[in-house]
Amino acid sequence: MLWMFLSLGSLIFAAFLMWNLGANYTPEISGLLIGFMLANSELVLVVGNMAGIAIGLCVVAVWCFLRGRFVPAGILCLAISLAVKPHDAGFVWLYFLLAGGIYRRRALQTLLVTAVLGLATILWVTPIAPHWMQELHSNIIVNQLPGGLNDPAAASMGWHGLVMITSLQTAISYFRDDPRIYNLVSYLVCGVLLLAWGVRSLRSRFSQRGAWLALAAVVPLTLLVIYHRAYDARLLLLTVPACAMLWAEGGRIGRLALLVNTAGFVLTGDISWIAVLGLMGRLLPASSALSAQMMIAMQVFSGPLILLLMGIFYLWIYVKRDPDGVAPPVPAESEEAPLALASL
């Protein structure tokens, strides 16, 4: 029960902070997106994975850094998130390292705290379980074998439904079930996108607007490049402020941002994904071989492709548009939420 409350509390608190930031632009859109995501986060509790806590702490750290409030708490939160799920928080940490200035200092301080926590944990665990590293390595290898729990290929189709793997390897393996092929293609595609993102982040002068676009671009790519599951997609909370900012600007880009975010939240959400699978089952007769293949394709492609679309969309805006442009004015009353939080 304590673990469930901690997971749920971390995620809800992080969601509130993202709404607090998105409300500077459009509180209604931010609230709808975040409320929909929270309603579709049942698996975080059911599975008991560390994702809820790690993602929650990562999002809290982003709020602390970009607001410039409770910075030591933000450093500790990001350090814990990095220590327990580096493949979730790693690229968020990397953005602050590339952003330079005070944010690079925050990233280096976080890395130091992470190293201390990691070393302390190793010194604590090793006397109790001296072979923990070999056992962990064996566990990972076994789960990645063909048909294993973490196999991204078709041999593990039982795990491409509700608790689907979101990495791009899943979609590539549909055409060629060979780790040498689907890993190489996935790393090349994501590597090119991440390289463009990294160069832009390193060369850009820091701004709040640029920070939200950068985070919105890298979060979907984080979920694509290596092994992640649907519950890790709660990290998409970090795309909400960018979506709200673009929507507030109006025009076609704003409508596209809302459409892309909504599709991403629907196709990686728990209840909505059940509804999508149920609808596909009703529309496609079970006796047809073509229908069976379409169902498999739906399960395999939906998550990775919508994340790829989100990543490309926000990366295009981040690279092509001026991140230092003038953002919509911040309503005076929007500052009440941080003050209320501080009073807690």
Q: pLDDT tens, 28-61?
A: 999 999 999 999 888 888 888 899 999 999 999 9
Q: What is the pLDDT of residue 241?
A: 95
DSSP letters for 162-189: TT-B-SHHHHHHTT---HHHHHHHHHHH
Q: What is the pLDDT of residue 104?
A: 95
Q: Compute how many other C-beta atoms are within 10 angstroms of the C-beta atom of residue 322.
A: 10
Q: What is the pLDDT of residue 24?
A: 87
State how far the alpha carbon of 198 is from the alpha carbons of 87, 194, 220, 287, in Å: 17, 6, 14, 48
pLDDT at 210 over 60: yes
Q: Provide mean pLDDT across the span 316-321.
A: 89
Which burial class, exposed, middle or buried, applies to 21 when counting CB atoms under 10 A from its CB (0-12, 13-18, 19+)?
buried
Q: What is the pLDDT of residue 177?
A: 83
Q: Which of 37-46, 213-222, 295-304 has the lowest mean pLDDT?
A: 295-304
pLDDT, tens digit (0-9, with 9 covering 90-100), for 156-200: 755 666 778 889 998 888 888 888 899 999 999 999 999 999 999
pLDDT at 308 over 70: yes
State how far the alpha carbon of 94 is from the alpha carbons of 29, 35, 98, 214, 336, in Å: 28, 28, 6, 11, 30
The pTM for the full model equals 0.86
pLDDT category, 286, cuts 50, 70, 90? low
Which burial class, exposed, middle or buried, applies to 273 when counting CB atoms under 10 A from its CB (0-12, 13-18, 19+)?
buried
pLDDT category, 344, cuts 50, 70, 90? very low
State how far the alpha carbon of 53 is from the alpha carbons of 7, 14, 41, 107, 262, in Å: 5, 10, 13, 20, 24
Q: Provide mean pLDDT across the span 197-221.
A: 93
